[in-house]
Chain A
């Protein structure tokens, strides 16, 4: 079968080559070079270029109309509407330039298609003209840049500094959220505290105690295995593991000691959940962390995106304007959900790293959060 395909391809190539030879030889007989561009070629290709411009512009318009409903999901945040306005103005601007320059390019190609013997106009420069098309784009860009920076600064530095504090924590290949609890202050965290239920490495006294208890249990188990086994190689490995555990134990104690009592207290009422709930109309500050590699928290409906960088803290502040229930109704889709997805290449399951986001009324939100157990409670 494969052999047959290869044979067919070879045959096709040889055939085309032979046909070309025939053309070339017949051209030689008529004493003309078949590769010279003739008036006929210029005419034909010029017309094709003009036709292409219609196809190109036409299909751009057709795609834009046909796919209009798919574009830019409804903006469900306060700044999202401003971003969409900026987007609309930018798109109109580039759309106008596109619809002028592309047809002109192809129309000139068609209009001035070569004719043997005609002489082109010697026209090397025109300072005035060049000045105009330097200054006009410059002015248009001044508008775009000013407006863009205005919107950008509004998003990055909101006037109101009061936000609900939520941590969004990324790892291969899922998301976790941490709420700050009644004090609205997130406790400190460190990857070296991660263990058992404390999947985010929150530093608190109870978290330390639980972690130490785990480590001690592991050490005890290793010691027992060493006592029961006579395999010297395996035992040497176990000794090494114990040394590692002892070091971790020290680190955990040190981390707790280095944390101020206030910070330890802040961590006490933190709540760790696998779903992101947000009250509508309230300003929320998402604080991003990653435990392994760079991820990016992308929430297309809210026009929110920020990278989660291991070893660093990043954040994004916004106000949701629509509840999930309202969106279900508006989109006429009972299955509608807001989502947070990973938008920075992060490995095999990158394409499925997501978290459900629920926007609800303040009452619903308060009810939901009061039903969640604090980390301290789950540790005890």
Chain B
């Protein structure tokens, strides 16, 4: 993108709807993701009400679910549908598209010093495909037989046979169409991010001077490009099995009194294909969050991030390992026990780069001058959840231990903390930190604190006790735990979980209010409110097309010169040349 890419006339449609400006597209991703997040969250609260008080009727359920919850008592199939769509929305629409889509778009050009993405048009296409896939996913909620209900992993044959569960009819078809479009959107986006970071860095911005945020987004995009197409392959084969009578995943099936004409396929093949995306997906969700917090923690500690090179190394290590651990989701699938051993080994190896990251964050705080902005609070929360959830991963990654906790609430607790909470906290941190860059205004600090405290208490209160439920043997995705006397004394824990979930859920309305209030009424931001070093804070507060009014600034140093001895200020932006005799990092 060249310097003469200046101002051209824009009308409402080209500015706000079919915009090709990365900053506007970022905001579109964010607002869409917030809407999806609230829908996904509402679903989780609905099914938490059901599982905690299975005998009670809740009028609110009838209000929202209508005939699917007569007298406020949920139908078992709808319980499974809500679980499925909650997972799908949160993993893909909020934490993949919402997180990467928002912050990769906003920050990549700004932090590397580019006028825009490599292809503004493809960027726009990426958002609109995401929008279409979101709409299709939401439409599937209104299908008479219900939306997809086979769990977010949609294992066949359950997902292939409408005879097995009503959600596998039209609802599943829409799910598959939506996800296919989603993957196209995500792949286009990722390619754009990779190309932009590789080619459009400003003068002096060597890869070794990239902010960790950029490294995280870059590696995330690479993982996405390599793994998401495999999901499309899995989904396409499933579509063939469903609609064209092929037998990729199906064999020897007798259902509804009829032997189906499938022979020779194996659902385990689907599991392999799905988790070949599914596991890297965890890091597609997590790495951007870690990237954002690396930046926020360093800035607000007024200290360089500890072990910059080790941080890059661990991102690369995690990315590489993430491709060779997928079958730890399949220890009890019936695959060869030898593979179980191999995947236990590779899985536990991931703990090493993860531990390095956690220790480096903690050391960054050490002897810092911590500024507790709401973004910083959420970042510290992220480090906490990342450690907590990472540790329980050592239990699940160990095949011998996984036998007994596989598919129990232990798993639910684990991944919600390590991937769900960490990513959500990273996303909140990012929104609070870069809000001034998005809207030129500040979010309210006090509401931010309130939001943080209610969220971390509600979230830990929701997901921590789940580990105990899992160790007691409680399976996930049960509509009710009343069928087994051995689970009777777990009722209290289930009620605590639901109450905490409601508290945490309601707290999000504080964020929602703060967000929209601040867009219109928040105090005007200054150019560099957090006294940060990275290039995005050298752009004017009011957005302009092309980002910098004059030439793109040149970069002379790494992004973490905070509190450098010999400097007057406790920060030196990347575009400040080295002084005579000053040592570069």
Scan residues 114-132 of chain A and give those whose CB is less than 8 A from a CB of chain B.
Answer: 114-115, 118-126, 129-130
The answer to whether A120 and B302 touch across the interface, beta carbons within 8 angstroms, is: yes
Tell me which residues across on chain B come within 8 A of A339, comparing CB atoms: 484, 486
CB B256 to nearest CB in A, in angstroms, measures: 9
The answer to whether A311 and B266 touch across the interface, beta carbons within 8 angstroms, is: yes
* A303 CB within 8 Å of chain B: yes
* B523 CB within 8 Å of chain A: yes
The answer to whether A123 and B303 touch across the interface, beta carbons within 8 angstroms, is: yes
The answer to whether B365 and A109 touch across the interface, beta carbons within 8 angstroms, is: yes
The answer to whether B307 and A97 touch across the interface, beta carbons within 8 angstroms, is: no
The answer to whether A305 and B371 touch across the interface, beta carbons within 8 angstroms, is: no
Using CB atoms, name the residue of chain A closest to B496: A63
Binds A, one of B94-102, B541-549, B557-565: B557-565
The answer to whether A310 and B358 touch across the interface, beta carbons within 8 angstroms, is: no
Scan residues 336-380 of chain A and give those whose CB is less than 8 A from a CB of chain B.
Answer: 337, 339, 341-352, 354
Using CB atoms, name the residue of chain B closest to A150: B400
Residue from A108, A124, A342 whose CB has the most chain B CB atoms within 10 Å: A124
For B344, give its contact among A149, A191, A248 (CB under 8 Å). A149
Scan residues 440-481 of chain B and give those whose CB is less than 8 A from a CB of chain A.
Answer: 442-447, 449, 453, 456, 460, 464-465, 468, 471-473, 475, 477-481
Cα separation A227 to B50 with both chains bound (whole Å): 54
Q: For the side of the interface on B, what is the size category?
A: 35 or more
Take A37-B445, A90-B401, A291-B253 as given contacts and tell me if A343 and B337 are in contact as well, using a CB distance cutoff of 8 Å.
Answer: no
Take A46-B372, A70-B490 as given contacts and tell me if A311 and B265 are in contact as well, using a CB distance cutoff of 8 Å.
Answer: yes
Cα separation A16 to B513 with both chains bound (whole Å): 9
The answer to whether B76 and A349 touch across the interface, beta carbons within 8 angstroms, is: yes
* B383 CB within 8 Å of chain A: yes
* B407 CB within 8 Å of chain A: yes
* B517 CB within 8 Å of chain A: yes
* A254 CB within 8 Å of chain B: no
Using CB atoms, name the residue of chain B closest to A108: B365
The answer to whether A13 and B513 touch across the interface, beta carbons within 8 angstroms, is: yes
Using CB atoms, name the residue of chain A closest to B565: A122
The answer to whether B400 and A155 touch across the interface, beta carbons within 8 angstroms, is: yes
The answer to whether A86 and B400 touch across the interface, beta carbons within 8 angstroms, is: yes
Cα separation A191 to B560 with both chains bound (whole Å): 66
Binds B, one of A98-106, A175-183, A203-211, A231-239: A98-106
For A346, give its contact among B158, B349, B356 (CB under 8 Å). B158
Interface readout for A180-198 with B: 1 if CB under 8 Å, 0 if not? 0000000000111010000
* A243 CB within 8 Å of chain B: no
The answer to whether A125 and B362 touch across the interface, beta carbons within 8 angstroms, is: no
Tell me which residues across on chain B come within 8 A of A35, comparing CB atoms: 442-445, 523
Tell me which residues across on chain A come within 8 A of B377, comparing CB atoms: 45, 49
Scan residues 3-40 of chain A and give those whose CB is less than 8 A from a CB of chain B.
Answer: 13, 16-17, 20-21, 23-24, 27, 33-37
* A273 CB within 8 Å of chain B: no
The answer to whether A130 and B471 touch across the interface, beta carbons within 8 angstroms, is: no
Binds B, one of A159-167, A216-224, A294-302: A294-302
The answer to whether B303 and A122 touch across the interface, beta carbons within 8 angstroms, is: yes
Q: List 6 A-B contacts (CB under 8 A).
A: A113-B370, A124-B307, A130-B359, A149-B399, A152-B344, A312-B251
Beyond A145-B398, A148-B401, 10 additional pairs, beta carbon < 8 A:
A70-B472, A82-B400, A86-B400, A94-B395, A105-B384, A112-B368, A121-B563, A152-B399, A339-B484, A345-B151
